[in-house]
Chain A
Amino acid sequence: MRIKDSLKSAVDSLTHGKMRSILTMLGIVIGIASVIILMSIGQSAQDLILNQVEGIGSNLIFIIPGGTNGKLQSPAAAQGIVIKTLVQTDVDALSREPSISAVVPLVSGGANAVYGDNNLNITYQGTTANFFPVRNYVLAQGYAFTDEDVAAYNHVAVIGSDLANTLFGPNIDPIGKTIRLGNVSFRVDGVLKPLGTGPGGVDQDDLALIPVTVAQNQMLGINYFQYLIVSANPEYNISFVTSRIQSVLEQDHGITNSAEDDFTIETQAQILAVLGTITSVLTYFLAAIASISLVVGGIGIMNIMLVSVVERTKEIGLRKAVGATEGDILQQFLIEAILLTFVGGIIGITLGGLFVGLVYLILTYIVMTSWTFALPLSAVVLAVAFSSITGLVFGIYPARKAARKNPIDALRYE
């Protein structure tokens, strides 16, 4: 039997029982729509996260205290263990390196920021003047603190736009006003331009930046840094700079075996790669969960096809009597199953795509996030292929059952 004839016959029989065909397809429609929605949302979330990380700047290298012993694990510091090995001498040694343009030490802590009757729980960061150019933080008002402020333990602060709004409101000019962070007073020297939400959904606009010396000695009572940001000299490539940092710090810490390094160097590329892997795995994991519903849909198809084979016993007998071979009958029923799942897949993709578009519109125009619309071609291809394969797999059993019917028994069946 020609494929074209099988197709026509499949369309005839599926349109004959329209309601049943639609209900049978529903499982596949829902399954495919969920795969599309989850893959698309996963892709958008991945884009969002990676964009944010890319925004940090590609010439930046992060040095975190604590080694990984060469194993694939988070450095100790990232696991919340206090490690005190990164200190001022490291910063001085790295600063002398020609392949490095700037070294920015950082410490941070939480405090209640207070001005008058207004207060807000925030995270403050102690750092140096280089922080602003290195992180590309631009001031909306006032000016950033200087290395002299850092050296002189001056109580000056640059605050985020949200914090400025919360403490001062629209009518008071924050510049020159005195705020308290915990029990320590600071003069507000500058207000940052809005930064938006950072990686991990942290609001970056309710922070306060203060001289690292003040933060270490008067707020936290520590003499080490929580991490360093190194800005590589653009004339050198990142991997060279990374290896220089490693040897400078090893020398400074008296380490001879790299496996014993008590620090971890992370470049933006590494962070991107790790985040990319994590988000991809999550996306595919979500898609895998969604495809369970496809299996359920497939079983639904198999069920209905089995019922249909029994109902059409006489038809099968007749077709065999007038010359259909087992192969012809198999083909006819398989094409019916595949057609059901294929059409179901197309409808599922359409519905999923519409839903994803709706999510995009809501997130962009109502929630105002920088959400991207992503309907990955891979997801569409995967969905169509997967739904057709579902039809094939779950159609085979009923189709074989049909093909093997004995024409005499089939003709006698009432």
Chain B
Amino acid sequence: MMIVVKNLKKEYIDDGTSTIALAGVSFTIEKGEFVSIIGPSGSGKSTLLHILSFLDRPTGGEYTFLGKGIEQMSDVELAGVRNKDMGFVFQSFNLLLRLSVYENVEIPLLYSTLPPAERNAAVEKAVESVGLSEKLYVEAAKLSGGQKQRVAIARALVNNPDVIFADEPTGNLDSKSGAQVMGILEDLNNKGHTIILVTHETSTAEFADRIIRIRDGEVESDTPVTKRRRSLDQFVK
């Protein structure tokens, strides 16, 4: 089992008033799954994603990732797991615009144990897999939104992680670019990567084989997708 979450809680205390973002969430995700986490804003889905992706720690319950509990891991160890086993795709891309595509994709490798001699091949492979090889040395600022998100996906891929977390990856894109991005994620899932997608759009969520609905910090439903949406069904790739 890749991800095991038991009664996960997150409470924020600010100026003496407490806000419960997660009120006890439980589920498991297996290796190779494509899971969408969906819910309205304020439902706690972003908090859940932050905890699942080791950017934040829960205030209660258990979270085990690849057999290791988050409680037992130091901040440096969490950073190591984020670097080696997780990839991130954000709604606002978060590219360093002054750097080239190559340099952006290389960033996770700077913090990895990969020998510098092997970086080049890894970066080129990742950029090729999102179809941007011809833009390798172009400054990130000069790319379109869709291209930026594809670079972000390449960056998430470069360390060949087990799981890719995507936080509203199509939120800032037009439908054509969004479809392209979803196509790439789908493709990655077919190649064995676990994908965890957070979104508020049902149509995007249906690319997954399973949808976890979150409302008021709890799991409202956890259902398989019967008719999985396919990028090729609707969009020209």
Measured CB to CB, the residues of A under 8 A from B are 1-2, 5, 9, 12-13, 16, 314-315, 317-328, 407-408, 411
Q: Are A322 and B99 in contact (CB under 8 A)?
A: no
Is the C-beta of B96 less than 8 angstroms from some C-beta in chain A?
A: yes
User: In the bound complex, how far is the Cα of B103 from the Cα of A312, in angstroms?
Assistant: 17
Point out the residue from A13, A315, A323, A407 that lies within 8 Å of B111, measured CB to CB.
Answer: A323
Q: Are B99 and A321 in contact (CB under 8 A)?
A: no
User: In the bound complex, how far is the Cα of B76 from the Cα of A326, in angstroms?
Assistant: 8
Task: Report 16 cross-chain contacts, Cβ distance below 8 Å, ordered by A residue.
Answer: A1-B111, A2-B116, A9-B110, A12-B99, A13-B98, A318-B96, A318-B107, A322-B82, A322-B83, A322-B88, A322-B108, A323-B82, A323-B108, A323-B112, A325-B79, A408-B56
Q: Are B90 and A411 in contact (CB under 8 A)?
A: yes
Q: Which residues of A contact B110 (CB under 8 A)?
A: 1-2, 5, 9, 324
Interface of A is mostly: helix
1/0 contact string of B40-58 vs chain A (CB within 8 Å): 0000000000100101100
Q: Which residues of A contact B155 (CB under 8 A)?
A: 322
Known: A318-B107, A321-B55. 5 other contacts (CB 8 A): A1-B110, A323-B83, A326-B75, A328-B111, A408-B50
User: In the bound complex, how far is the Cα of B113 from the Cα of A5, in angstroms?
Assistant: 13
User: In the bound complex, how far is the Cα of B83 from the Cα of A325, in angstroms?
Assistant: 10
Distance to closest chain A CB from B141 (angstroms): 11
Q: Are A323 and B116 in contact (CB under 8 A)?
A: no
User: In the bound complex, how far is the Cα of B179 from the Cα of A351, in angstroms?
Assistant: 58
Q: Which residues of A contact B96 (CB under 8 A)?
A: 315, 318
Q: Which residues of B contact A318 (CB under 8 A)?
A: 94, 96, 107
Is the C-beta of B80 less than 8 angstroms from some C-beta in chain A?
A: yes
Q: Are A323 and B98 in contact (CB under 8 A)?
A: no
User: In the bound complex, how far is the Cα of B119 from the Cα of A2, in angstroms?
Assistant: 13
Closest 6 CB pairs of A and B: A323-B83, A323-B111, A322-B108, A318-B94, A325-B79, A16-B98
Q: Which residues of A contact B56 (CB under 8 A)?
A: 408
Q: Which residues of B contact A321 (CB under 8 A)?
A: 53, 55, 82, 88, 94
User: In the bound complex, how far is the Cα of B96 from the Cα of A314, in angstroms?
Assistant: 9
Is the C-beta of B84 less than 8 angstroms from some C-beta in chain A?
A: yes
Q: Which residues of B contact A16 (CB under 8 A)?
A: 98
Point out the residue from B84, B90, B99 that lies within 8 Å of A323, measured CB to CB.
Answer: B84
Distance to closest chain B CB from A278 (angstroms): 54
Point out the residue from B76, B94, B98, B159 that lies within 8 Å of A317, measured CB to CB.
Answer: B94
Closest to A325 in B: B79
1/0 contact string of B89-129 vs chain A (CB within 8 Å): 01000101011000100011011100010000000000000
User: In the bound complex, how far is the Cα of B79 from the Cα of A5, in angstroms?
Assistant: 18
Q: Which residues of A contact B94 (CB under 8 A)?
A: 314, 317-318, 321, 411
Closest to A4 in B: B116
Q: Which residues of A contact B99 (CB under 8 A)?
A: 12
Q: Which residues of A contact B159 (CB under 8 A)?
A: 323
Q: Which residues of B contact A13 (CB under 8 A)?
A: 98
